[in-house]
Structure 1
């Protein structure tokens, strides 16, 4: 038992030492500002020693980084390796990721020009902080450095044009929009209503004349109502109700209010009208009319 208690701490210490040693790093790293006008400037790069001076990136310049990725001190190709640029002056903290081109021996390279930067980085009022991120599958701890160096974007004469960009659309809470709709028209114009009312009333004399010419007999009304009082009364009431429904639709109702009522009245008029007109036809066949 004592032997077991003495072995367990030693195993835990050894395991922690192996875990701590298993991590990603890089070596033989250099950063070069490639410039056709001012010449190339090459500087060594280390994870623990950030550069003191910022690198100026002109419109025709580029930044090139070369390094060798290592897993636990052994050169190896990681699954992912990025150069990350982050805004330092603005509060957005926008990141831009540029993947390194890697070989099987762990050597990686990335080169970015000013045109490769997002527009937010191009017009940033402050320098961009550069970091290296290396990681892969397995138990090895990924590497994410602090700011290794800074990049200042130099637009030269195009600075004013670069700052005049239109910000991208961002989805979020917007100001309340209050719509003010006009009140719906409750009644049609009076001129139109008067015109159609006169047109309807003008047909009444023509109907009476045609009725008299065709031999209409008002005296048969009492006989018709006595033979089929319910059918004639319901049919006449359905006609009046349909006129009332049309008037309400013209004045106040909507189409969806009018259609159900009109459908019901039509069914009632069809059923009662069939019986009422059947009674009249029977009297005609009997020679009473």
Structure 2
């Protein structure tokens, strides 16, 4: 009776160990081979890998070499295809990590070919061996596998230039920018202004002479002011106001001061001018000229 009581816990522990082993991912028949460029099939250094302990020596990868990793993924004791299987390399100095996907078949057999061109430039300049780990995992309750299997020593050709990519764009505070604005536009010389002013003033007598020659009738001024005094007065005043605005723009005002004032006065001139011209049209339709 005591024998059976002592046997039951042992059986339970053994069963738990079997279940635990059956629910963990691992690999079998793993080997890493490094072959030089142009070497025949089967040539190159080959080392077997263990899932429980890393390789005792470093694996060297030359500039023209190709590393080939082969293994069989197992879930417990069954060889099958996992959802993920990677070879992960880590730079111990910078912490840079890169994972390389293994091509795994339904039978669980997977392989990976790795050359210098596949490695980040940080790995090519590393002075220390890179720890290489195998990661195997999938959906379900099985425990994923991740462990270091060997150290990779990357040897670079010193005569070959290292292709370093450009640094990515980083958004940060830049130096203060001091804007240099152009000087305000200057008015033309007063001498030129006086010449054009005199030319305009000299043209006014000629305008009056032309009006008198063509038969301009100034007798209707009182009648026009009597029919629409406000429209005619505001229209004439708005014209004088526009001339005053142009004079201020020429002397002291800038464009931002001139445009609002000219817009308001121009709108008043448009409305009052329309009504004043309507009054003139009514007199012409009545035969008054």
Match of 1:204 in 2: 201
Secondary structure, in 3 states, of the residue corresponding to 1:148?
Answer: strand
Deviation at 1:94? 2.3
What's the counterpart of residue 7 of structure 1? none
Q: How big is the shift at 1:42?
A: 1.4
Q: What are structure 2's unaligned runs of at least 5 residues?
A: 1-10
CA–CA distance in structure 1, aligned partners of residues 75 and 190 of structure 2: 91
Secondary structure (helix, strand or coil) at the match of 1:182 reads coil
| Alignment-derived partner of residue 229 in structure 1 | 229
State the distance in 2 between where 1:150 and 1:197 align. 92
Residue 83 (structure 1) shift: 0.9
Aligned to 2:179, which of 178, 181, 190? 181
- Sort the Cα spacing of 1:220 and 1:184 in 2 relative to 1 into closer, same or farther, 3 A: farther
User: For the residues of structure 2 that align with 1:167 and 1:228, how far apart are their CA atoms?
Assistant: 82
TM-score (norm 1): 0.76
Number of the residue aligned with 2:7? none
1:130 is matched with which residue: 108, 129, 132?
Answer: 132
More displaced, 115-124 or 105-114?
A: 115-124
- Cα distance change of structure 1 residues 281 and 126 upon mapping to structure 2, 3 Å threshold: same
SS at match of 1:183: coil
Does the residue aligned with 2:231 lie in a helix, a strand or coil?
Answer: helix
CA offset digits 1:261-281 (Å, max 9, x no partner): 544433321221233344455
Q: CA deviation at 1:178?
A: 2.2
Query: Are positions 1:168 and 2:166 aligned together?
Result: yes
Alignment of 1:17-96 (within 5 A): 18=19, 21-35=22-36, 40-90=44-94, 93-96=95-98
- 1:72-118 CA deviation, whole Å, 9 max, x = no partner? 1211111221111121222xx22222211212221111111112212
Structure 1 range deviating more: 218-227 or 80-89: 218-227
Q: Deviations over 1:156-176 (max 9, x none)?
A: 2335x21xx444333444232
What is the aligned length? 270
Q: Higher mean Cα deviation, 107-116 or 29-38?
A: 29-38
Q: 1:190 aligns with which of 187, 190, 211?
A: 187
Contact 1:241 1:265 in 2 (8 A): yes
* Contact kept in structure 2, 1:59 and 1:115, CA below 8 Å: no
In structure 1, runs of 5+ residues without a counterpart are 1-9
Mapped to 1, the partners of 2:225 and 2:256 lie a distance apart of: 36
Distance 1:172 1:284, change over 3 A: closer
Q: Please provide the CA RMSD for this pair.
A: 3.6
| 1:245–1:135 Cα change, 3 Å | farther
Whether the 8 Å CA contact 2:34–2:65 is kept in 1: the answer is yes
